[in-house]
Structure 1
Amino acid sequence: MKDQKYIFIDIDGTLFHQSVGIPQTAKSAIEIAHKHGHQLFICTGRPLQEVDETFRQLPFKGIIASSGSIIEVDNEILQVHTIDEADAKQMIASIEAMQISYKVDTPNFCFMDPFVFDNFKTMLLHELSCDEDEVLAYMERTGMVLLDQMTSDDMKEITNITVFSDDVKSLEVIQANYTEQYHIVKQVMPNLSLHTLEINQKDISKAHAIAYILETYKANQKDTIAFGDSMNDVEMISYCAIGVAMGNAHEHVKSISNYITNDVCENGLANAFINLNLI
């Protein structure tokens, strides 16, 4: 058996691409790495319910979801970090007053305003290659629903809030107002042609969740490898002993990585597994 590594893999842009899904080479690499005794974890900005069977059928030990707010190992949720209810209400009121679109994630649902809902529906129509009724059924099945379905109980379970806009200055105002209280990541969603702010509880990130897993399993940081492409991967790329950027990664992610592999659609994950002697 190879020396056991703890491997943390982002989904979108790293393991998965909208045009091809999960490359077969990536699936095979993950299967072989698991057989070699490595512990593999998904580490994604997606809410937990959007990590569906497409990903769960692969031999992942656990899932870090909502950019570190939720940790699941062996199908058991170990940690959930939520935003204070009063703070969440105040932030949402401020976002709505600025007429900016947003979504809020909880452990069970992703509540979207109509603009975000329609954009995700359009994206999924392309990604799933099926008709609108099937996409709407998929969205309901994975907890993607309209904001008007959110209850007072849901408001107590918000793990993160994401705002979407093509007006960068408006997002900068929100970021300036809340950056001292929350962990905020600014990104671009190219498939939606929108700028976003991903807002989590202060000090909660993918790296924080990885540290918790290492402590739980008495594992060593020197045995960690992270794979990512986006700005919400920066902390984990920096934290892990080896940080791998995909060829399609944001330039800043590449600049802080130890190793740059090929694009996700060009066998990037599998090639990195081979070159790092994981398989």
Structure 2
Amino acid sequence: MKKIIFLDIDGTLVNDNGVVPESAKFAVQKARENGHLVFICTGRSKAELYEDILDIGFDGIIGAAGGYIEVEEEVILHETVDPEDVRHLVDYFSQHGIDFYLESNGGLFASEHCKKHIRSIIDKVIEANPQAKAEVEKGILPFHDALIEGENLLRDDINKISFLGSDIPIEKISEEFGGKFNIIPSTVPIFGENSGELSVPGIHKATAIVKLLEHLNMDRKNTFAYGDGMNDLEMIQYVQHGIAMGNAKEALKLAADDLTDTPDEGGIFNSFRKYGLI
């Protein structure tokens, strides 16, 4: 029977250096050959889905943490942040020295010091793991290079906002924006303590999966999902088979139906084989 599989990207489909293991590519392609549907289900916006990921081949995209759904290039949902909430966020983050970037389908728009901050993070990762230099440059540098500086940040096409760690506690950020955004801490661990993302309230990966299943006329009992972070929680809880990666947050592992290995240990491939998807 045809199954539908939802894959988070960072820490799930790709490893810590942003590279897709060959075992995961093979698993996705083989599952589709076997008649199953495979969808990206990520916090990333479409502008962050680079060729090395899309060229694997997928049946569609859930992006922006559930705010965007695309099926065979047909857009069936696209939620954006209220421009007044964007203004509030830009003013607050700028005032408090929090580096951030605004995510739209047309690009990633960085605050004044954000790109330099991310470059310093990448340099520290390479310094700590010099043997991973080539992989880091392949996996993470394209994201850094795609960041657009110097543009007007007061925009009406924003899907989601990601922010880097700072001295401002995540609790204080939650107090400021809790009524206007979903606030998920530490979605990209290398961004540091007090980092996270802000997305459209009432929208998450599971709400998008519900809408997509209705569109495809498919049943929840045929669903699988794989993730590692807390923005995967609702997705993992909703699907029939919610599977946490070996590197997942402990709270996600506790909520999952099953565990698999890390990306570099063949987590996707091993689980697909376990469940007869390949």
Q: Residue in 1 aligned with 2:129?
A: none
Q: Residue in 2 aligned with 1:167?
A: 167
Number of corresponding residues: 269
Gaps of 5+ in 2: 127-131
Out of 18, 28, 31, the residue aligned to residue 29 of structure 2 is: 31
- Is 205-214 or 74-83 further displaced after alignment? 74-83
Paired residues of 2:47 and 2:104 also in contact (CA < 8 A): no
Distance in 1 (alpha carbons) for counterparts of 2:265 and 2:94: 41
Distance in 2 (alpha carbons) for counterparts of 1:139 and 1:166: 19
Secondary structure at the aligned position of 1:173 is classed as helix
Secondary structure at the aligned position of 2:113 is classed as helix
Secondary structure at the aligned position of 1:165 is classed as coil
Secondary structure at the aligned position of 1:71 is classed as strand
Paired residues of 1:188 and 1:195 also in contact (CA < 8 A): no
How far residue 121 of structure 1 moved from its aligned partner, in angstroms, is 3.7
1:144-159 counterparts in 2 under 5 A? 144-146=147-149, 148-150=150-152, 155-159=155-159
How far residue 91 of structure 1 moved from its aligned partner, in angstroms, is 2.2
Paired residues of 1:225 and 1:244 also in contact (CA < 8 A): yes
Query: Is residue 2:39 matched to residue 1:41?
Result: yes
Q: Deviations over 1:130-149 (max 9, x none)?
A: 999xx988755x4x211x21
**What root-mean-square deviation, in Å, do the aligned CA atoms of Structure 1 and Structure 2 show?**
2.4
Structure 1 counterpart of 2:217, which letter? Answer: K
Change beyond 3 A, Cα 1:109–1:249? same
Q: Residue in 1 aligned with 2:213?
A: 214
* TM-score, with length taken from structure 1: 0.88
Out of 55, 61, 64, the residue aligned to residue 63 of structure 1 is: 61
Query: Is residue 2:72 matched to residue 1:74?
Result: yes
Paired residues of 2:70 and 2:77 also in contact (CA < 8 A): yes
Structure 1 counterpart of 2:261, which letter? Answer: N
Q: Residue in 2 aligned with 1:22?
A: 20
How far residue 228 of structure 1 moved from its aligned partner, in angstroms, is 0.3
1:1-279 counterparts in 2 under 5 A? 3-19=1-17, 21-121=19-119, 129=134, 142=146, 144-146=147-149, 148-150=150-152, 155-167=155-167, 169=169, 171-187=170-186, 189-279=188-278
Change beyond 3 A, Cα 1:97–1:138? closer
- Is 238-247 or 118-127 further displaced after alignment? 118-127
Distance in 2 (alpha carbons) for counterparts of 1:36 and 1:137: 32
Paired residues of 2:2 and 2:35 also in contact (CA < 8 A): yes
Structure 1 counterpart of 2:151, which letter? Answer: Q
Distance in 2 (alpha carbons) for counterparts of 1:145 and 1:278: 40
Distance in 1 (alpha carbons) for counterparts of 2:152 and 2:40: 27
Paired residues of 1:188 and 1:194 also in contact (CA < 8 A): no
Q: Deviations over 1:212-256 (max 9, x none)?
A: 110111111111111000111111111111100000001111010
Secondary structure at the aligned position of 1:42 is classed as strand
Change beyond 3 A, Cα 1:122–1:46? farther
Structure 2 counterpart of 1:56, which letter? Answer: L
Change beyond 3 A, Cα 1:70–1:22? same
How far residue 9 of structure 1 moved from its aligned partner, in angstroms, is 0.2
Structure 1 counterpart of 2:134, which letter? Answer: S
How far residue 123 of structure 1 moved from its aligned partner, in angstroms, is 5.8
Structure 2 counterpart of 1:41, which letter? Answer: F
Identity of aligned residues (%): 30
Distance in 1 (alpha carbons) for counterparts of 2:63 and 2:27: 22
Distance in 1 (alpha carbons) for counterparts of 2:136 and 2:182: 37
